[in-house]
Amino acid sequence: MTADLVIHGGTVVTDTTTFAASVAIKDGRVLAVGAREAMPEAAEQLDATGLHVLPGAIDVHVHFREPGYTHKEDFGTGTAAAAFGGVTTVFDMPNVIPATGTAEALAAKHRLASEKAYVDYGLYGLLGEDTIAHVPDLVAGGVIGFKLYMGNTFGNIPSPTTGGMLEAFEVVAPTGKRVSLHAETASIMARREARLRAAGRKDPLAHLAARPAVVAVEAVARAAILSEWTGCRIHVLHISSAEELRPLAEAKARGVDITGETCPQYLLLGAEDYGRIGPVIRVNPPVREARNQAPLWAALASGVVDMIATDHAPHIPDEKVRDDIFTVDCGFPGVETQMPLMLTEVAAGRMSISDYVRWSAVNPAKCWGLYPRKGHLQPGADADIAIVDLARRWTIDDAKLQSRAKITPWHGRGVTGLPVHTLVRGRFVMKDRALVESARGTGRSVHTIQEMPAPRVANPDSTMTEIVRIPAASRGDAATGAAA
Ligand SMILES: [Zn+2]
């Protein structure tokens, strides 16, 4: 058999080890990993001498803003940024116009993404009180999961009441889909912010003051109770504080199927950076006091926090630089800088490259049932690959980012580690730091392929008595539709 491509000379990285090996690719999948002389003939060869060969990162939290806010980003620019960042699968959020809360809106978004995307993607459906009735249609239409906003965010999506949340979880639980939570309690933040504004506060740190960690602690604890009661799988987005880790760890210990992510901004920035960075730093939840960083790193190491995501949330400079912090749009791009920022911490000895692969690829794939088709590079897996130079030192320059929103808190930061080539299902989408324009439209919608154990259900009298699996390949164009 002739392979389509063989990557020679690199160091292959798994979540437990690294080893020198060649990687052969055929029909979009990994065909073989091993000694150079054991590789089949290949139509194309790539010399990766001195480079590391990683499973592409899976970023379960991005906002590519299409449709509705394409002056900030679209599926073309957002997935190009992913390709430059070594990210081969993204899960896109539903707070666009119209919100992704109906079958029609979802179908329209699938069309837009499939035409433009350079990397694979999952689309979240919006789960709010108004969209509970649409859950079956959204599942049939191929959502990767649901997003529920417990706190206010960009797009003014209303937060459901606790009663609405319980009902939403009851409806989603039998589908087996995971609900990703913006876990900040809206009513606490609204009162704090009103008091700060009344007192004349407009400075960047007023944003942090309006959202003390209790907003997240209360939200995570409440969501965990409802998850346990209904058997609905949940995921805590953008964990920012040490205090949230306790309700998360306690729920995990009780057997609740709850997963969590944190983001580079919470691991690497602190309250002292507000002065230096200014209003660009505004993000929900806020960057917190530096004392939170070490517990977040420790939670990744122990598995209490499962993964790294970015909350890539682009806005243009006009929307990020304003005198009154409460009028600044929340969030900033991150999908392109996540891997270099984290590889810099690998270079500094904070964690191993295998730890990074576990948090960026293996765990996200497992938590959403994409493993073993994605998340690693064993034969049979999708050939989603980031080939990186761990020694390359460079400086992040907002003007050179692929994202349409050329403004981040990372501008001017020195990093060590650079994705040099990115492949999605065996196809180069970024090669030698250049976008492969002909790969536009390469990205495909991903779907759950692996059944996961049923979560614990605290309420034995629930009318929901079993977790019903969503059949694989619910959409014909599914990149990962067939069972591996
Ligand atoms: Zn977000």
Residue 25 C-alpha to ligand 1 middle, in angstroms? 34
Query: Which pLDDT does position 479 carry in this prediction?
Result: 39
Q: Residues lining ligand 1 (ion), CB within 5 A?
A: 311
**Ligand 1 mean position, distance from CA 63 (Å):** 6
Question: Is 124 in contact with 92 (CB distance < 8 Å)?
Answer: yes
What's residue 459's pLDDT?
Answer: 63
pTM for the full model?
0.94
pLDDT band at 450 (very low <50, low <70, confident <90, very high): low
Q: What is the pLDDT of residues 315-331, one digit of tens each?
A: 999 999 999 999 999 99
Ligand 1 centre from 353 Cα, in Å?
A: 26
| Cβ atoms of residues 207 and 282 within 8 Å | yes
Inform me whether the pLDDT recorded for 443 exceeds 60: yes
> Separation of 90 CA from ligand 1 center, angstroms?
12
Query: What's the pLDDT tens digit per position in 225-266?
Result: 999 999 999 999 999 999 999 999 999 999 999 999 999 999
472 CA distance to ligand 1 centroid (A)? Answer: 27
Q: What single letter denotes the amino acid at residue 289?
A: E
Residues 408-418 pLDDT 10s: 999 999 999 99
pLDDT at res. 158:
85
The Cα 29–Cα 27 span in angstroms is: 6
237 C-alpha to ligand 1 centroid (Å)? 8
Per-residue pLDDT band at 144 (split at 50, 70, 90): very high
Residue type, 6: V
Measured in residues, the chain has a length of 484
pLDDT reading at 336 higher than 90: yes
* pLDDT surpasses 50 at 467: no
Question: How is residue 139 written in tokens?
Answer: 């599942």
Q: Is the per-residue pLDDT at 481 higher than 60?
A: no
Distance 286 CA to ligand 1 centre (A): 12
**Over 80: is that where the pLDDT of 200 sits?**
yes
Measured in angstroms, how far is the CA atom of residue 256 from the centroid of ligand 1? Answer: 23
Q: Please check the confidence at residue 475 and state whether its pLDDT lies above 50.
A: no
Report how many helices (DSSP H) and strands (DSSP E) the chain contains, helices first.
Answer: 15, 19
Distance 313 CA to ligand 1 centre (A): 6
Distance 82 CA to ligand 1 centre (A): 16
* Amino acid in the structure at residue 314: P
472, pLDDT greater than 80: no
